Amino acid sequence: MKNRLNYSNMITFLRGPLALLFLMESQTARLIAIFLAMVTDVADGYIARRYQFSSRFGAVFDPLMDKLFVLMALSIFFFEGRIDLWQAMAMISRDFYLCIFGIYLQVTDQWKEYRCRAIRWGKVITTLQFCALIALTLNATLPTVLYTLFILLGSLAFIELFQMIRQSRSKHAA
């Protein structure tokens, strides 16, 4: 079953409304939102693989909902004065690299052939983002080195994406 409205994608969709809980100034509500977002992120992937619901739509929709959730939370923290703009930008730096990669795929006419899938550094960054959101929700001050780490990991994700293209070409050439 490869349609867009499957159990995996419905679970993924829940991260959107969960992000709205950050509009509440309740620390408990925000922690619950983060916890449930993490659970849905794991559950949707498991269900997609287990029941063969994997699809190109799901491969794009899942990280998009992660980004929406993180962006919403960071925006709220920024407007509350709990993080600076550069800190929020550092935490989503991977997404800037991802946009550049998407533009590259479009310009080189490789988008249709590109197989969207999770990458190692993307998973690491998403996990680190959720951990940072928990810390920020608990009013912790994150060290500058952590924000630098987000930029470094975003760079590694960018490199990994291009390595995937190269490996794909090698397989097709063989």
Q: For residues 147 and 88, is the Cβ–Cβ distance under 8 A? A: no
2 inside domain: no
pLDDT tens sequence across 63-107: 899 999 999 999 999 999 999 999 999 999 999 999 999 999 999
Tell me how far the alpha carbon of residue 152 is from its chain's centroid. Answer: 16
Please give the residue range of the domain that contains residue 158. 7-173
Long-range pairs of 167-172 with CB within 8 A, sequence gap ≥ 24: 168/115
What's the number of CA atoms in the CB half-sphere (13 Å) around residue 112? 1
1 inside domain: no
Q: How many domains does the chain have?
A: 1
The model's pTM is: 0.90
Q: How far is residue 93 from each of residues 14, 34, 89, 152, 172, measured CA to CA in Å?
A: 24, 20, 6, 9, 31
**pLDDT at 27 > cutoff 60:** yes
89 inside domain: yes
CATH of the domain at 98: 1.20.120.1760
Q: For residues 154 and 147, is the Cβ–Cβ distance under 8 A? A: no
